[in-house]
Amino acid sequence: MSTEPVATEVGRDFIRDIIQADLDQAKYREIVTRFPPEPNGYLHIGHAKSIALNFGIAQEFPGRCHLRFDDTNPVKEEQEFIDSIQADVHWLGFDWGKNLFFASDYFDRLYEWAEQLVRDGLAYVDDQTQEEIRTSRGTLTEPGKNSPFRDRTVEENLDLFRRMKAGEFPNGARVLRAKIDMSAGNINLRDPVLYRILHAHHPRTGDKWCIYPSYDYAHGQSDAIEGITHSICTLEFEDHRPLYDWFIEKLPVPSKPHQYEFARLNLTYTLLSKRVLTQLVREGHVAGWDDPRMPTMAAMRRRGVPPAALREFVKRIGVAKANSVVDVGMLEFCIREELNRTAQRRMAVLRPLKVVIENYPEGQVEELDAINHPDDPSAGTRKIAFGRELYIERDDFMENPPKKFFRLSPGNEVRLRYAYFVKCTGVIKNSNDEVVELRCTYDPATRGGNAPDGRKVKATMHWLPAATSKPAEIRIYNQLFSNPSPDAANFAADLNPQSLEILSDARIEASVAESNATEPMQFERQGYFVRDKDSTPGKPVFSRTIGLRDTFAKEVAKG
């Protein structure tokens, strides 16, 4: 696998080329695609790629895209997942209209077609155990062995299959298999399983069924029932395509869909396997499916990632036929670009250090103008109160600064954003010799942040008034994994112990604390932040969507 992002001309890819060619040849009146999630987890950013592709095609060409739940395994599927998937597709900006379907809606028809395969001598009931079926399937280099039950009569097969359906046998006792070719080069054609016995309650069909169809058997037939023209899936299904076509050819299906495969999205520092994501949640490595460190859409929404940034990301990575790994920095770039354009600016002090302006009159407060968006005058301004006691960022002060440190230090003058030039005149320490407060003076002639005598300062710092700013908890998220290619088989070893940093003494502008706005905003010099659902009336919680610069990639490069 290469680590290069796949460069394609935006909006053009081999699947769209195929569709255009099909339309040019008048093969279809309308293009019909589908997004077919299994409701066994929350959607992640890989799914966003598939959603944008399938729904995007339906928008660009005359067509429609169905949302179809592939709900053939009741043991793993839950209503919570069905609901979250619908919410996520809508959030991403796509709509299936009235085209919401469930594979379980087709269970009757799928069953009838299975009986037909039995009657046509193309399917049989196998009594072998799962293990026997697995070992007799052979390998890539050895052909499989025929099951001793392969030559049952049609009557016997039909009787056994009906009794499977009637619930006469326990789980795993028998399966229905297609009778294709146990020596086929493609292992998927070595008598694949069509139905297994599973005494389980289904969220939609209840206890009606105790046999459930396999993915391979259900998927193509569901496509055909819905009149899907282009059934687009990820590359791991390429070897399943001959089987997909075999069913479509043997069964009296109402339409003949075709399967096309594209490369799935892989991201550095990220695992997108649902098995891993489920384990992360179940084992408590994260706080839930929407923990902001998760690669799920629910997590990204909670974290303040704009859906437009995800759409832009999947557009930029394009659709290719070869697997690759995309640098997570590309996703972060798209998020930053969108937020830089749309997010209003505010000030917050993450790690406060108190400052007393000694020559500022006690009890006096001044309302200064602060700009809400530097590139968008229509966003307006707001008032921010300057007074004798302020907070600045602890990191913006050094008592014994190195040469290139231009921020506040004893004797050095800096600009407080929108306010005045201030100079540090003294330091107050606690018994541990830690700086707990600064003494400063301000120059009243520099109101607004410019000196009439033209003198310059080398740093502009954010700050907040001590009296009217409000306390807040700020959560800084880093990559969930510290390894650029985490090991899915042993992911716990690759977890980043520093993936969450909680700053519980932060200060924010009063208006930010009081507003319930859900849009992310930029805290100047710190990054983009969004109010989290864990906020309480007395203590708002803000999550960092993303930092201002790509410090992470630089740190990695430095080693």
Catalytic residues: 38, 264, 274
Neighbours of 103 (CB within 10 A): 23
The residue among 192 and 465 lying less far from ligand ATP, judged by its C-beta, is 192
The partner residues of 341 in beta bridges, in order of sequence, read none
- Find the Cα–Cα–Cα–Cα dihedral 541, 545, 546, 547, rounded to 10°: -30
Q: Are 194 and 72 in contact (CB under 8 A)?
A: no
Long-range contacts of 240-244 (CB under 8 A, 24+ apart): 240/188, 240/216, 242/186, 242/188, 242/189, 243/178, 243/180, 243/186, 243/188, 243/189, 243/192, 243/216, 244/216, 244/219, 244/220
The residue among 39 and 144 lying less far from ligand ATP, judged by its C-beta, is 39
Query: How far separated are the first and last CA of the chain, in Å rounded?
Result: 23
Shortest Å, Cβ 180 to ligand ATP: 23
The pair phi, psi for residue 353, each rounded to 5°, is -130, 125
Tell me, what amino acid is at 558?
K
Joined tokens for residue 484: 């650029």
Shortest Å, Cβ 41 to ligand ATP: 7
C-beta nearest to ligand ATP: residue: 46
CA distance 413 to 425: 10
CA distance 199 to 165: 10
CA distance 126 to 193: 9
DSSP 483: S
Q: Are 323 and 263 in contact (CB under 8 A)?
A: yes
The residue among 80 and 395 lying less far from ligand ATP, judged by its C-beta, is 80
Nearest Cα to 310, choosing from 494, 501, 546, 483?
546
Q: Are 388 and 362 in contact (CB under 8 A)?
A: yes
Shortest Å, Cβ 539 to ligand ATP: 37
Nearest Cα to 326, choosing from 342, 337, 310, 340?
310
The residue among 180 and 300 lying less far from ligand ATP, judged by its C-beta, is 300
The residue among 47 and 415 lying less far from ligand ATP, judged by its C-beta, is 47
Whose tokens are 């729904």? That residue is: 55
Shortest Å, Cβ 80 to ligand ATP: 14
The residue among 248 and 472 lying less far from ligand ATP, judged by its C-beta, is 248
Query: What residue spans of 230-273 are helical by DSSP H?
Result: 241-250
Where are the extended beta strands (E) located within 154-244?
Answer: 175-178, 193-197, 211-213, 230-234
**Which residues of this chain interact with ligand ATP, rule CB under 6 A?**
36-38, 40, 46-47, 49-50, 233-234, 264-265, 272, 274
The residue among 103 and 506 lying less far from ligand ATP, judged by its C-beta, is 103
The residue among 46 and 144 lying less far from ligand ATP, judged by its C-beta, is 46
Shortest Å, Cβ 318 to ligand ATP: 12
Nearest Cα to 317, choosing from 368, 264, 375, 355?
264
DSSP string, 270-304: ----HHHHHHHHHTTSSSSTT-TTSSBHHHHHHHT
The residue among 49 and 302 lying less far from ligand ATP, judged by its C-beta, is 49
Shortest Å, Cβ 230 to ligand ATP: 12
CA distance 213 to 71: 10
Give the distance from CA 100 to its chain's centroid: 22
Tell me, what amino acid is at 332?
E
Shortest Å, Cβ 198 to ligand ATP: 17
Shortest Å, Cβ 299 to ligand ATP: 15
The residue among 87 and 356 lying less far from ligand ATP, judged by its C-beta, is 87
Shortest Å, Cβ 43 to ligand ATP: 8
CA distance 494 to 131: 33
Shortest Å, Cβ 330 to ligand ATP: 15
